[in-house]
Amino acid sequence: GAVVSQHPSWVICKSGTSVKIECRSLDFQATTMFWYRQFPKQSLMLMATSNEGSKATYEQGVEKDKFLINHASLTLSTLTVTSAHPEDSSFYICSATEIRGGYTFGSGTRLTVV
Amino acid sequence: GENVEQHPSTLSVQEGDSAVIKCTYSDSASNYFPWYKQELGKGPQLIIDIRSNVGEKKDQRIAVTLNKTAKHFSLHITETQPEDSAVYFCAASRVGTSYDKVIFGPGTSLSVIP
């Protein structure tokens, strides 16, 4: 079946630095990728939707200058958390869709900002 | 926009008993309803899904029912096993020529007691 690889699985960074998270579709072309954030014991909250070659669409309340999303190819999307602060610490999860249908989720990235 | 509610938030059952999780959605245009299982520190895994042109779907011990008129859908797990313990999320989306964003319910933490 479809596989989405997300990397890194966990990262610790200092406050004020930037962190990049990668999401790759391994065996299919992902026309659309979604980025979610999940706080402990809470549901997944959609941050943005990205289509290959175009600008991402951000959900209300998500700072587009802080969470930079790039979807440069049909198999790769990246999320960069810029000038990270402790309140950005969370579990970030990507999801990809393909023409055959369905959503495939990555394994998530645990970000801790110290 | 779409809003998905889910009940109960926590559920404990004895091994071998059945577990039922219920969800409602608000957007009548939603036509795809997946269910995900999430284990601690991992991304969500699709366990079953149903489309709006179907009222019920079953896969071994797991079944999902959909009432489009009432905008209700439910997950039924029979003969529960300890390895079924996890957080379960219902979700809703619109699919057609493309796949729209997935909106998640708040989740149900299921504990199966041996």
Question: What is the least distance, in Å, from the CA of B103 to any CA of chain A?
Answer: 7
Pairing label, strands A90-97, B72-77 = unpaired
Write out residues in chain B with pLDDT < 70, as ranges.
97
pLDDT given at position A100: 65
pLDDT given at position A101: 67
Say if A8 is an interface residue toward chain B (CB within 8 Å): no
Residues B38, B43, B45, B50, CA torsion sign = positive
CA of B42: which chain A residue's CA is closest?
A: A107
Q: Hey, are the CB atoms on B98 and A34 less than 8 Å from each other?
A: no
pLDDT given at position A114: 97
Helix/strand/coil for A86:
helix
Go through chain B and tell me how many residues it has: 114
Could you tell me the two tokens for B81? 């096993």
pLDDT given at position B30: 93
pLDDT given at position B97: 67
Closest CA to A24 of A43, A3, A52: A3
CA–CA distance, B51 with B60 (Å, rounded to integer): 18
CA of A111: which chain B residue's CA is closest?
A: B41
pLDDT given at position B82: 96
**Tens of pLDDT, residues A55-95:** 899 999 999 999 999 988 889 999 999 999 999 999 999 99
Q: Hey, are the CB atoms on B104 and A97 less than 8 Å from each other?
A: no
Residues of A in contact with B42 (CB under 8 A): 107-108
Residues of B in contact with A32 (CB under 8 A): 98-99
Q: Hey, are the CB atoms on A43 and B106 less than 8 Å from each other?
A: yes
Using CA atoms, how far residue A49 sits from A15, A45, A55, A69, A106, in Å, is 26, 12, 9, 9, 15
Mean pLDDT (chain A, rounded): 92
pLDDT given at position B108: 98
Which value, to the nearest 10 degrees, does the dihedral of the CA atoms of residues A59, A62, A63, A66 take?
-110
